[in-house]
């Protein structure tokens, strides 16, 4: 055994102990509050991956490599960083507690250099592939600094491979000529509930092979391979290969004596096989049978080192869930925890002295030797591995002079003009769309900037001189990454590109477009992207029932509520082009902010911190108002609302609208104005930001900051208490109905609550009661004064 292997085994032992101890401490030793439940196990899941992580981090990785660690191996990751001095004992002692090390590795909440957060299984796997595409994208751009290519690596649970997004990603990445991506599958043949299907490995190999991946199967460790060479070894190998997963697990759980009995019963021959077994003690036999490829640091580090190409590679590493712990192999071990007595035995077996449980170098024969060696491990040599990139100046808002246009078309035009400018901003924008590039108005942008591919691909229609509005030329210079229809992939691509500044030190401003209802299709990946603090713009278009003839399947209802509730994203729904211009310009700056300061005392929004942006747009062309340029207008648009028609002191009715129903609100206001003295129209551009500011101000007042007042509170303070508030949106009415709660105003929330009908826009606005008539009727029925004329006066 080489010196390095001896040291790797020593580290492996340390990591097994420290991860199990961290979990044990959190469950059994940390004082509990009354009624507090156990914080969760995962000792078995950590043990199963301890050899893989030891070999990978301590012999294979280079600082430019990036890793997504399967969520429930978090204690193992933290233990490793603790050993390397990058994690504190205090946070480990407080694992899963307030301010402690996180249950699942977290880029945003942990301190120990997490590359990709994980938690929702499957997403951490796929993000590595998209990060690799982003790495290739950057490598092809003249403005990006030269950097060594890193390998994007996922440590994958075998049951994690049940997640559909994994396969969606495989297909997509095949199209993009994926490289530099490794997925190391922890093939312990156990999931949360039980043991996986027999022969799954064949399916896995076939699927990966079909998408052009190399598959490296690591079934046997070095001890097993040596035993197979002994007389009788072939029979043992054959038995192992035929052994069902459940039985292998059950025998592993029961240990050496049971292994011996079973093997003797089934292949004992009073000859070579019997002798092979008898040359080993029970403990030695258990060690041999536990020595699968994924539990053998020699086998693993050799296999990793042998990869001398950049093709995507899946390692199928056979492991044992709970390896070298009393939980090993038991089908119920997922959340299993060693009890106090088992832990005491385990501690003795691991040779850890009482009181020295947290000592990083406990049980190490020569600590200074190991420390010196650890100091040379390449992966940990350059800390931190988190980059920063300078901010790209957004420039001036792009103003459009169209008199009638939809927000979706306006979005396309603004991007086109940015592309035409060739500004630094234009250079850093990368767009992506799941097969709806043309129908979401990205076409002009793509025509100018081209599609990205590592190699030039001809545009045959163009070469054949067939007229087409779309130039579809792929090249390394291209700035649009075309995706297939899977929306999970869209958000994972946005997540990876939106972390480019941090992962690769190069600023990208990613913009994705998607039909608004299908935001829900990629919602978990969107949440994941936000959780990692990736920065991007997502444009949901067309939205709402305004998509009228498309019917219920394509009309979005709840997305404005997603915009409000999704952390990390500022959601806007502009009605007019000048608003859209201002919002996009602001967004390019907002997406790049990374301040830590307290909320802005004007709005109580955390605008220093920055975040991502969601624009909800439509295809309905609206007549544009006269151009508005004042600072107050600009500020109102960004803060979330402005008075389109300012209410007077005796205001009786206020109509608050968001988005495309602006003309209905304005028309209704005109009609109501004939019979009511005083009426206001509030143009809401972001219910999300209004709502967030309100909640923040309430919170600040609770904390004693008595004068804290949000933008929406200031707006509502202008209204007398008897004033009726009518809110209207092409979306769920709850998006705006809360406005009534701000100042205690009686409210009529109009919006869409049921799956869409087909019909004309007018039909549907009437059907759902979001047209001018419905607004007028609400005002007539509920506000004081004489009945309002309900028919439109032309």
Ligand X SMILES: Cc1ncc(C[n+]2csc(CCOP(=O)(O)OP(=O)(O)O)c2C)c(N)n1
Taking the complex as a whole, the smallest distance from the CB of residue 528 to Mg ion amounts, in Å, to 21
The partner in contact with residue 334, picked from ligand X, Mg ion, none with C-beta cut-offs of 5 to 8 angstroms by kind, is ligand X
Number of helical (H) and strand (E) elements in the chain, helices listed first: 33, 20
Q: What are phi and psi of 258, to 5 degrees?
A: -70, -40
SS3 654: strand
Tell me which stretch binds ligand X (CB under 6 A): 137-145, 155-163, 367-375, 696-704: 155-163
- Which residues lie below 8 Å from residue 247, measured CB to CB, with a gap of 6+? none
CA end-to-end span of the chain, whole Å? 93
For ligand X, the binding residue among 188, 313, 618, 685 (CB under 6 A) is: 188
Cα 297 from Cα 49, distance rounded (Å): 11
For ligand X, the binding residue among 14, 72, 91, 448 (CB under 6 A) is: 72
| CB closer to ligand X, 71 vs 574 | 71
Give CA angle at 327 (252, 46), nearest 5°: 105
Number of chain positions touching ligand X (CB under 6 A): 17
Q: What is the DSSP letter of 26?
A: I
Q: Counting contacts by CB under 6 A, is residue 45 touching ligand X?
A: yes
Cα 511 from Cα 429, distance rounded (Å): 7
Q: Counting contacts by CB under 6 A, is residue 83 touching ligand X?
A: no
Q: Which residue has the tokens 């997502």?
A: 538
Residues in 280-339 at the binding interface with ligand X, rule: CB under 6 A:
321, 334
Taking the complex as a whole, the smallest distance from the CB of residue 196 to ligand X amounts, in Å, to 7
Taking the complex as a whole, the smallest distance from the CB of residue 321 to Mg ion amounts, in Å, to 6
The partner in contact with residue 289, picked from ligand X, Mg ion, none with C-beta cut-offs of 5 to 8 angstroms by kind, is none
Number of chain positions touching Mg ion (CB under 5 A): 5
Tell me which stretch binds Mg ion (CB under 5 A): 182-190, 256-264, 397-405, 614-622: 182-190
The partner in contact with residue 437, picked from Mg ion, ligand X, none with C-beta cut-offs of 5 to 8 angstroms by kind, is none
The partner in contact with residue 533, picked from ligand X, Mg ion, none with C-beta cut-offs of 5 to 8 angstroms by kind, is none
- Given a contact cutoff of 8 angstroms between Cβ atoms, the answer to whether 483 and 436 are in contact is no
Tell me which stretch binds ligand X (CB under 6 A): 154-162, 263-271, 310-318, 410-418: 154-162
- Given a contact cutoff of 8 angstroms between Cβ atoms, the answer to whether 24 and 343 are in contact is yes
Q: Counting contacts by CB under 6 A, is residue 48 touching ligand X?
A: yes
The partner in contact with residue 192, picked from Mg ion, ligand X, none with C-beta cut-offs of 5 to 8 angstroms by kind, is ligand X
Instruction: Report the DSSP pairing between strands 404-405 and 622-623.
Output: antiparallel
Q: Counting contacts by CB under 6 A, is residue 185 touching ligand X?
A: no
Taking the complex as a whole, the smallest distance from the CB of residue 306 to ligand X amounts, in Å, to 25
Helix axes 245-254, 256-267, angle to 10 degrees: 130
Q: Counting contacts by CB under 6 A, is residue 71 touching ligand X?
A: yes
Q: Counting contacts by CB under 6 A, is residue 634 touching ligand X?
A: no
For ligand X, the binding residue among 157, 522, 544, 568 (CB under 6 A) is: 157
**CA nearest neighbour of 718 among 788, 649, 634, 617:** 649
Query: CB pairs under 8 A, 24+ apart, for 274-277?
Result: 274/232, 275/231, 275/232, 276/227, 276/230, 276/231, 276/232, 276/233, 276/236
Cα 591 from Cα 612, distance rounded (Å): 5
Q: What is the DSSP letter of 404?
A: E
The partner in contact with residue 160, picked from ligand X, Mg ion, none with C-beta cut-offs of 5 to 8 angstroms by kind, is ligand X
The partner in contact with residue 275, picked from ligand X, Mg ion, none with C-beta cut-offs of 5 to 8 angstroms by kind, is none
| CB closer to Mg ion, 158 vs 652 | 158
Alpha carbon separation from 639 to 396, 489, 705, 723, 745 (Å, rounded):
19, 31, 21, 23, 21
- Which residues lie below 8 Å from residue 339, measured CB to CB, with a gap of 6+? none
Taking the complex as a whole, the smallest distance from the CB of residue 203 to Mg ion amounts, in Å, to 15
Site string for Mg ion, 139-178 (x = CB under 5 A): ------------------xxx-------------------
Cα 19 from Cα 46, distance rounded (Å): 7
Taking the complex as a whole, the smallest distance from the CB of residue 334 to ligand X amounts, in Å, to 6
Residues in 72-131 at the binding interface with Mg ion, rule: CB under 5 A:
none
For Mg ion, the binding residue among 43, 102, 190, 502 (CB under 5 A) is: 190
Instruction: Report the DSSP pairing between strands 181-187 and 747-750.
Output: unpaired
Tell me which stretch binds Mg ion (CB under 5 A): 20-28, 82-90, 186-194, 246-254: 186-194
Find the largest Cα–Cα distance for the chain: 107
Q: Which residue has the closest beta carbon to ligand X?
A: 157
- Given a contact cutoff of 8 angstroms between Cβ atoms, the answer to whether 277 and 260 are in contact is yes
Taking the complex as a whole, the smallest distance from the CB of residue 123 to ligand X amounts, in Å, to 8
Cα 230 from Cα 237, distance rounded (Å): 11
Q: What is the DSSP letter of 195?
A: B
The partner in contact with residue 121, picked from Mg ion, ligand X, none with C-beta cut-offs of 5 to 8 angstroms by kind, is ligand X
Cα 267 from Cα 265, distance rounded (Å): 6
Q: Counting contacts by CB under 5 A, is residue 188 touching Mg ion?
A: yes
- Given a contact cutoff of 8 angstroms between Cβ atoms, the answer to whether 548 and 760 are in contact is yes
Q: Counting contacts by CB under 6 A, is residue 532 touching ligand X?
A: no
Taking the complex as a whole, the smallest distance from the CB of residue 152 to ligand X amounts, in Å, to 19
- Tally of CB atoms within 10 A around 621: 16
Q: Counting contacts by CB under 6 A, is residue 160 touching ligand X?
A: yes
**Interacting residues with Mg ion (CB under 5 A):** 157-159, 188, 190
- Residues contributing to the site for ligand X (CB under 6 A): 45, 48, 71-72, 120-121, 157-160, 186, 188, 190-192, 321, 334
């Amino acid at each position: 055994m080489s010196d390095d292997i001896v040291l790797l085994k020593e580290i492996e032992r340390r990591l097994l102990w420290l991860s199990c101890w961290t979990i044990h401490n959190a469950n059994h030793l940390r004082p509990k509050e009354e009624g507090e439940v156990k914080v969760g196990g995962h000792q078995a899941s950590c043990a199963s991956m301890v050899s893989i992580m030891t070999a990978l981090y301590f012999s294979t990785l280079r600082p430019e490599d990036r890793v997504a660690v399967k969520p429930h191996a978090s204690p193992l990751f933290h233990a490793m960083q603790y050993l390397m001095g990058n994690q504190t004992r205090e946070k480990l002692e407080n694992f899963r507690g307030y301010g402690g090390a996180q249950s699942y590795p977290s880029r945003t909440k942990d301190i120990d250099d997490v590359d990709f957060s994980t938690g929702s299984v499957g997403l951490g796997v796929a993000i590595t592939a998209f990060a690799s595409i982003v790495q290739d994208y950057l490598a092809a751009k003249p403005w990006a600094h030269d950097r060594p290519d890193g390998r994007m690596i996922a440590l994958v649970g075998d049951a994690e491979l049940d997640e559909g997004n994994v396969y969606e990603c495989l297909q997509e990445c095949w199209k993009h000529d994926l490289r530099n991506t490794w997925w190391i599958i922890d093939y312990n043949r156990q999931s949360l509930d039980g043991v996986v299907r027999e022969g799954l490995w064949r399916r896995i190999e076939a699927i990966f092979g079909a998408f052009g991946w190399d598959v490296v199967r690591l079934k046997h460790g070095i001890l097993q391979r040596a035993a197979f060479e002994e007389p009788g070894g072939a029979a043992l190998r054959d038995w192992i290969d035929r052994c069902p997963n459940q039985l292998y697990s059950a025998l592993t759980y029961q240990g050496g004596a049971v292994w011996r009995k079973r093997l003797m019963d089934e292949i004992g021959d009073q000859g070579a096989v019997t002798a092979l077994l008898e040359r080993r003690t029970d403990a030695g036999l258990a060690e041999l049978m536990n020595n699968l490829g994924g539990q053998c640091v020699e086998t693993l580090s050799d296999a990793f080192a042998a990869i001398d190409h950049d093709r995507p590679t899946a390692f199928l590493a056979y492991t044992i869930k709970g390896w070298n712990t009393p939980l090993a192999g038991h089908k119920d071990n997922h959340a299993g925890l060693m009890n106090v007595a088992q832990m005491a035995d385990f501690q003795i077996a691991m040779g850890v002295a009482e009181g020295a449980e947290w000592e990083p170098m406990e049980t190490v024969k020569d600590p200074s030797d190991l420390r010196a060696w650890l100091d040379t491990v390449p992966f940990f040599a350059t800390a931190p591995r988190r980059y920063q990139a300078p901010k790209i100046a957004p420039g001036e808002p792009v103003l459009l002079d169209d008199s009638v246009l939809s927000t979706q078309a306006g979005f396309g035009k603004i991007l086109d003009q940015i592309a035409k400018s060739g500004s630094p901003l234009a250079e850093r924008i990368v767009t992506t769309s799941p097969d709806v590039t043309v129908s979401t108005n990205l076409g002009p942008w793509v025509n100018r900037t081209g599609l990205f591919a590592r190699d030039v691909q001809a545009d045959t229609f163009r070469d054949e001189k067939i007229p087409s509005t779309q130039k579809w030329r792929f090249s390394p210079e291209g700035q649009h990454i075309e995706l297939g229809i899977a929306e999970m992939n869209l958000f994972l691509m946005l997540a990876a590109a939106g972390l480019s500044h941090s992962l690769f030190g190069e600023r990208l401003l990613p913009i994705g477009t998607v039909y608004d209802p299908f935001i829900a299709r990629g919602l978990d990946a969107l949440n994941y992207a936000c959780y990692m603090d990736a920065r991007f713009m997502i444009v949901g278009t067309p939205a709402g029932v305004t998509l009228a003839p498309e019917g219920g399947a394509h009309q979005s209802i709840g997305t404005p509520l997603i915009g409000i509730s999704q952390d990390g994203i500022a959601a806007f729904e502009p009605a007019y082009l000048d608003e859209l211009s201002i919002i996009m310009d602001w967004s390019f700056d907002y997406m790049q902010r990374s301040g830590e300061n307290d909320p802005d005392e004007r709005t109580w929004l955390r605008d220093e911190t920055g975040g991502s942006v969601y624009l909800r747009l439509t295809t309905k062309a609206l007549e544009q108002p006269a151009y508005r340029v004042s600072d107050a207008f600009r500020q109102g648009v960004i803060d979330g609302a402005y008075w389109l028609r300012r209410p007077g002191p005796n205001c009786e009715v206020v109509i608050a609208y968001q988005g495309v129903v602006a003309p209905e609100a304005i028309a209704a206001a005109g009609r109501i104005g004939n019979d009511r003295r005083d009426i206001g129209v509030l143009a809401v551009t972001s219910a999300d930001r209004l709502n967030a500011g309100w909640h923040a101000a309430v919170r600040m007042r609770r904390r004693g900051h008595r004068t804290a007042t949000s933008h929406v509170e200031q707006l509502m303070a202008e209204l007398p208490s008897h004033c009726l508030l009518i809110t209207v949106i092409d979306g769920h009415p709850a998006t705006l109905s809360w406005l009534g709660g701000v100042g205690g105003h009686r409210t009529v929330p109009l919006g869409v609550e049921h799956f869409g009908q087909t019909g004309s826009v007018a039909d549907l606005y009437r059907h759902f009661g979001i047209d001018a008539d419905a607004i007028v009727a609400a005002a007539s029925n509920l506000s004081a004064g004489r009945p309002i004329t309900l028919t439109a006066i032309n």
